[in-house]
Amino acid sequence: MQRFILRAEIHTARETFVTYGYDLTPQSVFVVTDWRGASVDTRITVRLSVPRALEPVDVACRIAAFRVAGNPGDVAGMVLEFDADAPRPSVLALLDQVQTLRGEASSLSQFRVLLVEDNGLTRDVFAYSAHRYFGTDDALVIDHAESAEKAWELLTAAEYDLVIVDYFLPNADGATLISRLRADTARSRIPVVAISVGGRSAREATMTAGADLFVDKPVVFRDLFNTMRILAHVSLSPEAKRTILVLDDSALALAVTRAALEAAGFTVVIADDLAGFEREFARCQPDLILVDVQMPEMFGDDIAATLLGTKRVVDVPVVLFSSLEENELARRSSQASATGYISKAAGMTELVRRCREYLGSAA
Amino acid sequence: MKDIQAQFLGRFTETARKRIERMHAALEDTQTGISVLIHELHSLAGESGLLGFSQFVGIARTGETEAKRMQNEGGSSAQSLRATVVELERMLDELSPR
């Protein structure tokens, strides 16, 4: 069986925590490492995803057994059985997605990985295994950095499809590097897999910093490579190529909007004032522009009218994005000849749906 | 999107508390503070709506409408606006006790 790594957010009656799982089948998934006092037959809810690649699905499960690793590469952890009734369609949908992505991503094309790892043997084994696994014809490029500082130099010099970061690094730890990456507009959406021998504390530090997945060392590279194949496909998907520029003076609204749209696979560029908007607009060539209406320097509808009226944007939807009442938003949008509007009050799911709609209509 | 809501809960409550503090300060002198009040209510409505804390949206919007009316027409009492801000504060305490 081809295994790949899933992010698994576990919700019990007492707490929520993030771990990872393997071996998704219609019957079960092994969720490794962490069981926090749970016992057999306990019912839990698991949210499964490959961040930036597969939309999360919530699955109700029963803990069927615990497994202890006997040999290198064995998976230790909880053996979960999905509920037979309600969650099954979502599990099957997830499986369908995985099968499709596996099928289409049978080889890598121009996939560039940065491995941040100070252990020379791990680096060499990773590179050797990856080239054996993907074959020498694949355009797989693996760069190495021994420290967070060196990694940052490489990250600012090349575009990466995946960053794999060891938690324990000399000087600054892996979580610090991940935080820096997530705070950097141009690089914030690069998939990040954290690895470590540090167990739960390393996992919590790196996931809190913004890692998409965490894998305990020793890493089973084959499983990581399968996950890379899924990510490789996604990096070529249409949504990943779509850039949305968002102008809003609320730092929180910007952060939430970015998180929601990036989780849906878009590239998001943000600006919190007009100067930043001008700079990013010139730099990123957006496919869609969202403009908050009530900005301190100018109304968003005036910005939209100016952009459209002076033909600074052609075939790029400019959409008002505000918490104003819908009728007021519709009126302002119409007066400014904006492409449309999205109400913040409708929430993140609606935001993603409407962005897809506007991008679809613009295609 | 629930994970994003959970991820941003702390930041939301922290931001909302600061906004409510500024609203209380603005209500001390509505002549000069009314535009601040409108801005804070508007921003709170947007942030809470995006994050799916929809219970805040209606009240913040009502407050914003009322504050705009006060700004345009003048003369209204700040008492009901104060009640709106207190209600928002109560809801915030309910969502995330201090």
> What is the percent of chain B where pLDDT is above 70?
95
Q: Do A345 and B57 touch (CB under 8 A)?
A: yes
Give the pLDDT confidence score for residue A184 in this predicted structure.
85
Give the pLDDT confidence score for residue A362 in this predicted structure.
43
Q: Residue range B72-87: average pLDDT?
A: 83
Give the pLDDT confidence score for residue B62 in this predicted structure.
92
Find the closest chain B residue to A8 by CA distance. B3
> Where residue A222 falls among pLDDT bands split at 50, 70, 90?
confident
Give the pLDDT confidence score for residue A153 in this predicted structure.
95
Residue A231: pLDDT above 60?
yes
Find the closest chain B residue to A58 by CA distance. B2
Residue A99: pLDDT above 70?
no
**Looking at per-residue confidence, does A34 or A301 come out higher?**
A301
Q: Residue range A47-71: average pLDDT?
A: 78
Which residues 6+ apart lie within 8 Å of A253 measured at CB?
A: A292, A344, B43, B46, B47, B50
> Where residue A192 falls among pLDDT bands split at 50, 70, 90?
very high
Helix A348-362 vs helix A251-263: angle between axes, to the nearest 10 degrees? Answer: 70
Mutation for testing the B interface, residue in A48, A204, A252 having most B CBs under 10 Å: A252
**Looking at per-residue confidence, does A20 or A36 come out higher?**
A20
**Looking at per-residue confidence, does A356 or A107 come out higher?**
A356
Residue A190: pLDDT above 90?
no
Give the pLDDT confidence score for residue B82 in this predicted structure.
93
Cα(A247)–Cα(A276) distance, integer angstroms = 9
Q: Residue range B20-39: average pLDDT?
A: 90
Q: Residue range A202-229: average pLDDT?
A: 85
> Where residue A93 falls among pLDDT bands split at 50, 70, 90?
low
Task: Report the gap between the CA of A330 and the closest CA in chain B (Å).
Answer: 16
Q: Residue range A266-274: average pLDDT?
A: 87
**Looking at per-residue confidence, does A334 or A233 come out higher?**
A334
Which residues 6+ apart lie within 8 Å of A310 measured at CB?
A: none
Task: Report the gap between the CA of A292 and the closest CA in chain B (Å).
Answer: 10
Residue A239: pLDDT above 70?
no
Give the pLDDT confidence score for residue A236 in this predicted structure.
47
Q: Do B45 and A260 touch (CB under 8 A)?
A: no
Question: Rounded to an integer, what is the distance from CA B16 to the centroid of its chain?
Answer: 7
Task: Report the gap between the CA of B45 and the closest CA in chain A (Å).
Answer: 6
Instruction: Give the CA distances from residue A75 to residues A24, A66, A214, A221, in Å, rounded to whole numbers and listed in that order.
Output: 13, 10, 15, 13
Give the pLDDT confidence score for residue A94 in this predicted structure.
66
**Looking at per-residue confidence, does A123 or A89 come out higher?**
A123
CB A74, CB A32: distance < 8 Å: no
Phi-psi region for residue A112, left (φ > 0), alpha (ψ -120 to 50) or beta? beta
Cα(A308)–Cα(A315) distance, integer angstroms = 10
Q: Do B50 and A260 touch (CB under 8 A)?
A: yes
Dump pLDDT digits (tens) for A335-344: 888 999 999 9
A257 contacts on B by Cβ (under 8 Å)? 50
Q: Do B46 and A256 touch (CB under 8 A)?
A: no
- Provide residues of B within 8 Å CB-CB of chain A: 1-8, 11-12, 15, 39, 42-43, 45-47, 49-52, 54, 57, 60-61
Q: Which two tokens stand for residue B77?
A: 């009492």
Q: Residue range A263-279: average pLDDT?
A: 85
Task: Report the gap between the CA of A355 and the closest CA in chain B (Å).
Answer: 14
B12 contacts on A by Cβ (under 8 Å)? 252
Give the pLDDT confidence score for residue A226 in this predicted structure.
78
Dump pLDDT digits (tens) for A142-166: 999 999 999 999 999 988 888 999 9
Task: Report the gap between the CA of A16 and the closest CA in chain B (Å).
Answer: 10
Give the pLDDT confidence score for residue A102 in this predicted structure.
53
A45 contacts on B by Cβ (under 8 Å)? none
Q: Residue range A167-191: average pLDDT?
A: 89
Q: Residue range A266-278: average pLDDT?
A: 87
Cα(A282)–Cα(A343) distance, integer angstroms = 26
Find the closest chain A residue to B41 by CA distance. A323
Residue where the block lists tokens 């820096």: A180
Tell me the backbone φ, ψ of residue A250, rounded to 5 degrees: -90, 120
CB A58, CB A44: distance < 8 Å: no
Find the closest chain A residue to B35 by CA distance. A296
A325 contacts on B by Cβ (under 8 Å)? 61
A294 contacts on B by Cβ (under 8 Å)? 39, 42
Residue A278: pLDDT above 80?
yes
Dump pLDDT digits (tens) for B3-27: 788 889 999 999 999 999 999 999 9
Residue A235: pLDDT above 60?
no
Instruction: Give the CA distances from residue A105 to residues A96, A138, A237, in Å, rounded to whole numbers and listed in that order.
Output: 14, 12, 11
Q: Give the closest of A292, A323, A348 to B52, CB-based.
A: A348
Q: Give the closest of A9, A250, A251 to B46, CB-based.
A: A250
**Looking at per-residue confidence, does A38 or B82 come out higher?**
B82
Q: Residue range B51-80: average pLDDT?
A: 86
Q: Do A259 and B61 touch (CB under 8 A)?
A: no
B3 contacts on A by Cβ (under 8 Å)? 9, 47, 56
What's the mean per-residue pLDDT of chain A? 81
